[in-house]
């Protein structure tokens, strides 16, 4: 018996040695992605040629907004029990929002981008149009986030189903007590990224994000978002390899100094721009989709920095608290 087992062990060991596990090439390598996952997924920048983007056309979930009571002291509509809210005095019609969202999707297709939509919307989650927050594409796949406020918790399931149906690898789901929303994450360049810590992103969420990025050799900078502002994409968006549009009033000085050290040239918003003008989307290095409310002065400055701008009407959607950047979640970009 012992001799038989010894012979078996010998052959088994030879088999394992001859057909050994192989860690290389890495999961994220282009050839490995193509062989296992059908294509190269994810992004390693915020400016590489955009190939696929996730969106959600507003639908029946927006009926929640129509029923919200007015809260005069807040200048908003809201229901603290459900967490649903709408800032400001104007609630645009669903048809108005759909028309502008459709126009943005059409512009993206004309720029050569494949637009995919959420398979479904979580019931009553009227912020689902802002797909940027529910997942983050990095090199090789996606990170499904964990939303902060009550009204957004639940968006994570439909985005997970959608990514799985596409065949996109999910590299991490933020879990435990971590909070993370994609609007507060940005690549500066492939080896450096930034996350904004705020009421929507806590240190535990940043730590989990950092774990995944570190495996890929990307350093994560933490920035404290001032006051009750939510996401870094309200103040910082990359628009070219070395150019960012910024709101210097709401970006920490130390972060802007770090951007200078990294060789990033900053185009500041001016007083003529609406607050969401910075919330734009690069579809290629130096090619940007922006709200048509951006000032001519900012457009001229971007042109001087080698950035061409395509204007898209989006004011009716922006009233809901998010712009073009918020409404688009890149899933595939060409690597830079």
Per-residue pLDDT reduced to its tens digit, 59-88: 999 998 888 889 888 888 888 888 888 887
Query: What is the pLDDT, as a whole number, of residue 87?
Result: 81
CATH of the domain at 179: 3.75.10.10
Query: What is the pLDDT, as a whole number, of residue 5?
Result: 64
- Split into its structural domains, the chain has a count of 1
Query: What is the pLDDT, as a whole number, of residue 218?
Result: 98
Residue 27 lies in a domain: no
Token look-up 């918020």 returns 326
Partnered with residue 180 across adjacent β-strands are: 146
Residue 114 lies in a domain: yes
Query: What is the pLDDT, as a whole number, of residue 177?
Result: 97
Q: For 159-207, what is each residue's pLDDT tens digit?
A: 999 999 999 999 999 999 999 999 999 999 999 999 999 989 999 999 9
Would you list the DSSP string of 174-229? Answer: --TT--B-GGGEEEEETTEEEEEEBTTB-HHHHHHHHHHHHHTT-EEEEEEPPTT-
Query: Edge to edge, what strands does the sheet with 76-79 contain?
Result: 70-71, 76-79, 84-87
Taking the chain (336 residues) in runs of 10, the rounded mean pLDDT of each run is 70 82 92 96 98 97 89 86 83 94 98 98 94 97 95 96 98 98 97 95 98 97 86 95 94 95 95 86 98 92 96 91 94 97
**Domain region containing 89:** 41-333
Residue 33 lies in a domain: no
Q: Which long-range contacts (CB under 8 A, 24 or more apart) does 145-149 make?
A: 145/174, 145/180, 145/181, 145/182, 145/205, 146/173, 146/174, 146/175, 146/178, 146/179, 146/180, 146/205, 147/179, 147/181, 147/200, 148/179, 148/181, 148/199, 148/200, 148/201, 149/83, 149/200
Please state whether the predicted TM-score (pTM) of the whole model is above 0.85: yes
């Amino acid at each position: 018996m012992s001799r038989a087992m010894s012979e078996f062990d010998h052959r088994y060991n030879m088999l394992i040695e001859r057909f050994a596990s192989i860690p290389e090439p890495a999961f994220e390598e282009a050839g490995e992605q193509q062989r296992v996952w059908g294509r190269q997924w994810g992004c390693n920048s915020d400016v590489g040629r955009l190939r696929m983007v996730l969106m959600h056309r507003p639908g029946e979930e927006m009926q929640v907004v129509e029923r919200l009571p007015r809260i005069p002291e807040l200048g908003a509509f809201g229901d603290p029990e459900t967490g649903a809210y709408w800032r400001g005095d104007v609630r645009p019609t669903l048809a108005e929002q759909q028309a502008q969202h459709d126009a943005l999707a059409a512009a993206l297709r004309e720029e050569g981008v494949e637009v995919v939509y959420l398979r479904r919307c979580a019931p009553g989650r009227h912020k689902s149009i802002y797909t940027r927050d529910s997942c983050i594409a990095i090199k090789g796949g996606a990170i499904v986030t964990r939303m902060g406020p009550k009204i957004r918790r639940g968006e994570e399931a439909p985005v997970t189903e959608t990514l799985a149906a596409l065949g996109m690898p999910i590299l991490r789901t933020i879990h435990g007590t971590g909070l993370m929303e994609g609007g507060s994450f940005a690549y500066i360049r492939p080896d450096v990224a930034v996350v904004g810590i705020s009421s929507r992103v806590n240190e535990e969420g940043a730590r989990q994000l950092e774990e995944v990025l570190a495996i890929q050799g990307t350093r994560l900078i933490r920035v404290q978002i001032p006051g009750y502002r939510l996401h870094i994409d309200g103040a910082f968006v990359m628009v070219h390899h070395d150019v960012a549009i910024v709101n210097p009033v709401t970006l920490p000085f130390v972060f802007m100094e770090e951007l200078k050290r990294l060789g990033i040239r900053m185009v500041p918003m001016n007083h003529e721009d609406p607050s969401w003008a910075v919330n734009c989307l690069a579809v290629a290095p130096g090619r940007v989709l922006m709200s048509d409310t951006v000032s001519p002065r900012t457009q001229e400055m971007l042109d001087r920095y080698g950035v061409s701008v395509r204007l898209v009407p989006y004011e009716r959607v922006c009233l809901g608290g998010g712009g073009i950047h918020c409404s688009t979640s890149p899933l595939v970009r060409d690597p830079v």
